[in-house]
Structure 1
Amino acid sequence: MIEVEHLSKIYGSTPAIQDVTFKVEPGEILGFLGPNGAGKTTTMRILAGYLPASSGSAKIAQYDVHEDSMAVRRRIGYLPETPPLYPDMTVEGFLHFVARIKGVARKVRRDRVNSAMERCNLTEKRKVLIRKLSKGYRQRVGIAQAIVHDPPAIILDEPTVGLDPRQIIDVRNLIKSLAGSHTIILSTHILPEVSMTCSRVAIINRGKIVATNTPENLVAQLAGGSGYELEIDGDEEAAQQMIQVLPGIRFVESIANKDLPPNRSQIRVVSEPGAEPGRDIAAVLIGAGVALYEMRRTRANLEDVFLELTTAEKILPIVDSDASESSSESATEAEETTT
């Protein structure tokens, strides 16, 4: 549905994005992640026809964004970070106005407007002036204007920014309900939202795509945060040495914790992808007479992956969602690439 190949945008001598390549399959929700200034909004503006690219190509529904701009615009719904609303219009009046601009035929226009309001839970607000709506409802109106012409592709740039937790949940559920019948690119800084909403993730850093995969496979590829946290009473240095030589251990380190009782210490153990050394860790410590007060399993999450990829010069091999048969295979490929 959406194909981006070697896309670049350069302002003077400063590249905003460089050689950006990714695909979004029909009916899929792609989470587009990156720190501020990474190039997320630039990429989305190019896809929406708002900005021209310096080089590369982008196609939506097989139409080239540059060569068939109007055909593309008829097939996308775009919600920028600040919703393009007219505050002195009613919700219903605004959506009728947008539907006319987007070329919705008169005979189906009312049905499309009613459908957009129902899907965005705006029916009870149809006669309310937009300026009187809360921020959460304004975001709903912004999404409604993006889907009122029933486009096959929807581009949402930070749709939950500035919303309270209840509003975020409502908008998240709305976006999930659009999947299947629409292909969606969702830009957001809220990482748990991506895990709960998106079927696949693309991470951009310094204008370059550094990873594309399912959230689960990305965590498996970069399992550096998976392991155990231990609280012991005994020789910490000796305990670390005993653990470090066990199979499946990547590294062992101390955790500073001033709140621990005297003579106790805290240790973090990071395991290799796919390894389960917990039983061996407990056995070797207890066998050596080390008092093990607590042993807690820790798992990597999407935040760990995001931080690792955006704070270091690391790029993972781009893998489509169906290209990897198992997370262990993904982890092996990542290890061979990054070592």
Structure 2
Amino acid sequence: MSIKVSSVIKTYASQKALQDISFEASKGEIIGFLGPNGAGKSTMMKILTGFIKPNSGSVFVNEVNVIQTPQEAQKNIGYLPEHNPLYGDMYVREYLQFRASIFKIDKSQIETCIKKVGLQTEAHKKINQLSKGYQQRVGLAAAILHNPSVLILDEPTTGLDPNQLVEIRALIKELGKNKTVLFSTHIMQEVEAVCDKVIIIKKGTILIDENLDTLHENNKQTIAVSFDSAVSKEVLFTLPNLRDIEVKNSGWLLHFETEDDMRTVVFDFAREHHLKIVSLNAQTKNLETLFRELTTG
């Protein structure tokens, strides 16, 4: 395991920021770390990178104990904080040379990273002359400079325009081929496009820790339907691929285990049983819907 977090608790005075957090991540996995503001995402990331210590629990990165030997663990970790801390008066190459000296790595690695993050045309400029998107690229270049096996990215796409979003997402996906990437975001489409796995956290507690494919399988299709006359559950269960039924208001929620559009099947069912459809709605549940259901209230 590249990352192993067990029973982590973090409190600030009387407030519990993290409550018994445990999860694992392997090499080659890109994990979306999701939650509303104040859920504890940034706190967990700072603990993972060794910048703050938990009250209890254990954290390992590549089998190195982050709590006991943070500096040793940081050799394996690339970190891009939420508020990208750059020295605006420094030139791009100058800043990366400064970072390279901290990690005592060969300066030839700088040009490799500049090319990898697409900074070639901007590398001669001062950082404060760059757009937000290019500043994020500088932060990513600094994070991967020492070729870490684990990347922790706290909202890496905040403030980017649509074109920059696409480019940074593609870069994260490329980096995730041979590294473990844990990144937080509020953009669900980003997670759908990039991630293999999702962790959803609320009030310091993990609500979901699942592969994205599994989540999609578990929420394939729901149809809300009401008829002009009564029909029993037993009759409704003759519909193909029907997993579960719920009563809602004056109608039914039909949960199907298929990605096929079941609306035509429900229409045929109604005609066969001499029922008139009063209303019908397909409610395919995506990650955004699931996130709202879990984190509101």
**What corresponds to 1:63 in structure 2?**
64
Deviates more, 1:142-151 or 1:302-311: 302-311
Residue-by-residue CA offset, 1:12-36 (whole Å, 9 max, x unaligned): 1211001110011012111111111
Cα pair distance change 1:117/1:210, threshold 3 Å: same
Aligned match of 1:210 in 207, 210, 223?
207
**What corresponds to 1:168 in structure 2?**
165
**What corresponds to 2:295 in structure 1?**
310
C-alpha distance in 2 between matches for 1:176 and 1:144:
15
Q: Is the 8 A contact 1:31 1:188 kept in 2?
A: yes
Structure 1 counterpart of 2:68, which letter? E
**What corresponds to 1:320 in structure 2?**
none
Cα drift, residue 295 of structure 1: 6.0
C-alpha distance in 2 between matches for 1:289 and 1:214:
42
**What corresponds to 2:222 in structure 1?**
227
C-alpha distance in 2 between matches for 1:124 and 1:284:
62
**What corresponds to 2:231 in structure 1?**
242
C-alpha distance in 2 between matches for 1:275 and 1:150:
40
Structure 2 counterpart of 1:251, which letter? E
Cα pair distance change 1:294/1:129, threshold 3 Å: same
C-alpha distance in 1 between matches for 2:278 and 2:118:
51
Cα pair distance change 1:93/1:286, threshold 3 Å: same
C-alpha distance in 1 between matches for 2:66 and 2:275:
64
Scaled by the length of structure 2, the TM-score of the pair is: 0.89
Q: Is the 8 A contact 1:243 1:281 kept in 2?
A: no
Q: 2:22 matched to 1:32?
A: no
* Paired residues for 1:145-294 under 5 Å: 145-221=142-218, 223=219, 226-228=221-223, 238-239=228-229, 241-242=230-231, 245-247=235-237, 248=242, 249-251=244-246, 253=248, 269-273=253-257, 278=263, 281-287=266-272
C-alpha distance in 2 between matches for 1:280 and 1:95:
60
Q: Is the 8 A contact 1:229 1:298 kept in 2?
A: yes
**Number of residue equivalences:** 289
> In structure 2, the residue corresponding to 1:146 is in which secondary structure?
helix
Structure 1 counterpart of 2:143, which letter? A
Q: Identify unmatched segments of 5+ residues in structure 1.
A: 231-235, 256-266, 313-339
Cα drift, residue 207 of structure 1: 0.4
C-alpha distance in 2 between matches for 1:120 and 1:151:
15
C-alpha distance in 2 between matches for 1:268 and 1:92:
62
* Paired residues for 1:10-25 under 5 Å: 10-25=11-26
Structure 2 counterpart of 1:270, which letter? L
Aligned match of 1:138 in 114, 121, 135?
135
Cα drift, residue 243 of structure 1: 7.4
Structure 2 counterpart of 1:311, which letter? T
Structure 2 counterpart of 1:4, which letter? V
Cα pair distance change 1:164/1:270, threshold 3 Å: farther
Q: Is the 8 A contact 2:227 2:279 kept in 1?
A: no
C-alpha distance in 1 between matches for 2:142 and 2:224:
49
Structure 1 counterpart of 2:246, which letter? F
Structure 1 counterpart of 2:214, which letter? N
Cα drift, residue 203 of structure 1: 1.1
Residue-by-residue CA offset, 1:149-193 (whole Å, 9 max, x unaligned): 111111000001111111111110110110122211011111110
Cα pair distance change 1:84/1:307, threshold 3 Å: same
C-alpha distance in 2 between matches for 1:281 and 1:144:
53
C-alpha distance in 2 between matches for 1:51 and 1:144:
23
Q: Is the 8 A contact 1:246 1:280 kept in 2?
A: no
Structure 2 counterpart of 1:69, which letter? P
**What corresponds to 1:127 in structure 2?**
124
> In structure 2, the residue corresponding to 1:46 is in which secondary structure?
helix
> In structure 1, the residue corresponding to 2:182 is in which secondary structure?
strand
Q: 2:286 matched to 1:301?
A: yes
- Root-mean-square deviation (CA), in Å? 2.5
Q: Is the 8 A contact 1:28 1:182 kept in 2?
A: yes
Residue-by-residue CA offset, 1:44-97 (whole Å, 9 max, x unaligned): 000111111110010011111111111111111100011110001111111111
Residue-by-residue CA offset, 1:296-333 (whole Å, 9 max, x unaligned): 64421111221222237xxxxxxxxxxxxxxxxxxxxx
